[in-house]
């Protein structure tokens, strides 16, 4: 144990095995000589709690049945408080809100964001319906749309399977390549998904009728691969 190598035997027994004298006893009880008092386990030892100054709790976490606190004090506590105030001021400036109105402004932005999500969901549904209506009943349907998240890819692929018995694929470009969702009504796309992942450095999987993942290729490369291998 690291502590055992840096502490003396006496320090280790006291700090790790509580080998101390009874409370309110010993030669250092009521010992008030001038000097710097240092604890071998935690650093500088103050004569009074007032010398600690300001205390700031930075974080807490559950630990071995108890709670572990991350704390700074003195000048560091002041610096931490000033940094937090500066961040709050920056957030307030972004939201055009005073310090005591920041929470209200955040709730307003969240409500606006939620409303936009619902609007976006509805518009995507209309677009997916339109794409499905343009698909022949037995044709393959490979569609690329930018900006789709995994849920959007899944929704588009499922909607396409309602229009055709052919291979359905929803693709979207990403920073690292392409997100995809493959589906086939009453079919199994797992072999095709496995081959795509192997050929285009991808990861993903799913159930027989629908699989989802991503790969390092462009949407054009994925579409070309699917057209060449859609019989798998």
Residue 2: the pLDDT is 45
Residue 191: the pLDDT is 96
* Gap between the Cα atoms of 226 and 232, Å rounded: 9
Helix (H, G, I), strand (E, B) or coil at 107: helix
Q: Which two tokens stand for residue 229?
A: 């291998």
DSSP 47: S
Name residue 65's beta-bridge partners: none
**Strands 37-39 and 210-215, bridge-based pairing:** unpaired
Q: Could you give the count of Cα atoms lying within 13 Å of 138 in the half-sphere of its Cβ?
A: 0
Does domain 125-229 sit in CATH 3.10.310.40? yes
Write out residues in the chain with pLDDT < 70, as ranges.
Answer: 1-5, 43-44
Q: Which two tokens stand for residue 135?
A: 């698909």
* Gap between the Cα atoms of 139 and 162, Å rounded: 12
For the chain, residues classed under CATH 3.10.310.40 are 125-229
Number of residues that make up the chain: 232
* C-beta of residue 164 within 8 angstroms of C-beta of residue 136: yes
Phi and psi for 221 in degrees, rounded to 5?
Answer: -65, -40
């Amino acid at each position: 144990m690291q502590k055992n190598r840096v502490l003396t035997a006496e320090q280790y027994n006291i700090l790790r095995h509580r080998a101390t004298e009874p409370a309110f006893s010993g030669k250092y009880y009521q010992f008030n000589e001038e000097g710097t008092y240092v604890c071998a386990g935690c650093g500088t030892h103050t004569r009074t709690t007032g010398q600690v100054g300001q205390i700031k709790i930075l974080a807490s976490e559950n630990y071995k049945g108890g709670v572990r606190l991350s704390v700074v004090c003195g000048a560091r506590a002041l610096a931490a408080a000033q940094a937090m105030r500066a961040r709050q001021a920056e957030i307030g400036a972004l939201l055009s809100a005073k310090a005591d109105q920041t929470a209200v402004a955040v709730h307003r932005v969240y409500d606006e964001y939620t409303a936009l999500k619902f609007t976006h969901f509805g518009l995507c549904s209309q677009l997916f319906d339109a794409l499905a209506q343009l698909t022949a009943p037995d044709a393959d349907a490979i569609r690329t749309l930018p900006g789709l998240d995994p849920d959007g890819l899944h929704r588009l692929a499922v909607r396409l399977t309602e229009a055709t018995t052919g291979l359905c694929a929803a693709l979207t470009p990403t920073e690292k390549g392409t997100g995809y969702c493959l589906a086939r009504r009453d079919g199994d796309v797992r072999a095709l998904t496995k081959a795509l992942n192997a050929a285009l450095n991808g990861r993903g999987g799913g159930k027989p009728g629908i699989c989802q993942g991503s790969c390092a290729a462009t949407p054009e490369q994925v579409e070309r691969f699917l057209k060449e291998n859609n019989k798998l």
